[in-house]
Amino acid sequence: MQLEILTPEKKIFEGDVTIVTFPGANGSFQVMDNHAPLISLLQQGTVEYKGKDGAKKINILGGLVEVLKNKVIVLATGVAA
């Protein structure tokens, strides 16, 4: 599935992944290939994803995620160092 992580300033990541874990407003959750459509608020925490280059992590300050037709778009309010 295609993952995009965006902030108001720039695109943080774009690429194919097999699984993504999000810091949801009500706890963490995972999205895998062919997941049902979803929109969710995200709290401050770590977005973890696995692609062909292995596992990666990005710390976000919060935001929103949309899952639709095997495309995942994260609109993060910002990223933490």
Asked whether 22 and 28 are in contact (CB, 8 A), the reply is yes
Q: Is residue 19 part of a domain?
A: yes
Q: pTM of the entire structure?
A: 0.93
Q: Say what percent of the chain tops pLDDT 70.
A: 100
Residue-wise pLDDT tens digits, 44-53: 999 999 998 8
- Reading the block at residue 48, the tokens are 């973890």
Count of domains for the chain: 1
Q: Is residue 54 part of a domain?
A: yes
For residue 37, the 8-state DSSP code is P
Q: Is residue 30 part of a domain?
A: yes
Cβ–Cβ contacts within 10 Å for residue 50, how many? 13
Residue-wise pLDDT tens digits, 27-46: 999 999 999 999 999 999 99
Q: Is residue 81 part of a domain?
A: no
Round to whole Å and give the CA distance between 68 and 25: 19
Q: Is residue 49 part of a domain?
A: yes
